Amino acid sequence: MINNTENHISTSAKNYADSLIQVCKDGAITFETASKDLNTVKEIISESDELVKVMENPAIANNTKNEIIDSVFSNQISDKIINFLKILIDKKRFNELTQIIQAYNDEVDIINNIKRVEVYSAVEVSEDRKQRLINKLQNKLKKNVIVNWNINNDIIGGLVIKIDDDIIDNSLKNKLENLSKNII
């Protein structure tokens, strides 16, 4: 199965991502096109266990796998990313594709001064409140912030904000738990 370890990205995955970053910096493909193409690849692969099994099967010849890459992706992504996928096949690193894409996206975020943040709330947050929170986070972090908004009924009220490994828990559930601990 394609390695989907979010918290740990292998050194080789980082190296392949860095190589792709360099290809973008050299102007062979734009960061935007590479990102879009990689997300397309990730979506297609995540929807097809059969494709993953074929691509990771050592009994299937690389030229057959390359033909499959051509047939599946030729009308959907750029030739540069198709060639990148073929390199991963030839180097027997296709199983690290998810990690490589994550490492690539992380590096592009650094280049573009972007910080991705997860926000959890019990109910849908109004657009005005969302924008105020984004502005506060951007001022605090000194980065462009992209927020992934999530609904979590366990929170009861308030917000939980996750930035990398840091969690800011301003939820009603957390306040009630702390109050309960202080009373006991």
For 4, phi then psi, to 5°, come to: -120, 45
Q: Where are the beta strands (DSSP E) in 93-154?
A: 114-121, 144-151
- Final residue before a domain boundary, out of 87, 110, 133: 110
| Residues 78-94 pLDDT 10s | 999 999 999 999 999 99
Residue 52 tokens read as: 């993953």
145 and 97 assigned to the same domain:
no
Q: Is 144 helix (H, G, I), strand (E, B) or coil?
A: strand
Residue 156: inside a domain: yes
**Is residue 104 within 8 Å of 17, Cβ to Cβ?**
yes
Beta strands in the chain (DSSP E): 114-121, 144-151, 158-163, 166-171
The domain tally of the chain equals 2
Same domain assignment for residues 75 and 19: yes
- Same domain, yes or no, for 15 and 99? yes
Which of helix, strand or coil describes residue 182? helix
Q: What percent of the chain has pLDDT over 90?
A: 82
Write the pLDDT tens digit of every residue in 28-80.
Answer: 999 999 999 999 999 999 999 999 999 999 999 999 999 999 999 999 999 99
For residues 95 and 170, membership in a common domain is answered with no
Q: What is the domain range of residue 20?
A: 11-110
pLDDT at 4 over 60: no
pLDDT at residue number 3: 45
Confidence at 7, pLDDT banded by 50, 70, 90:
low
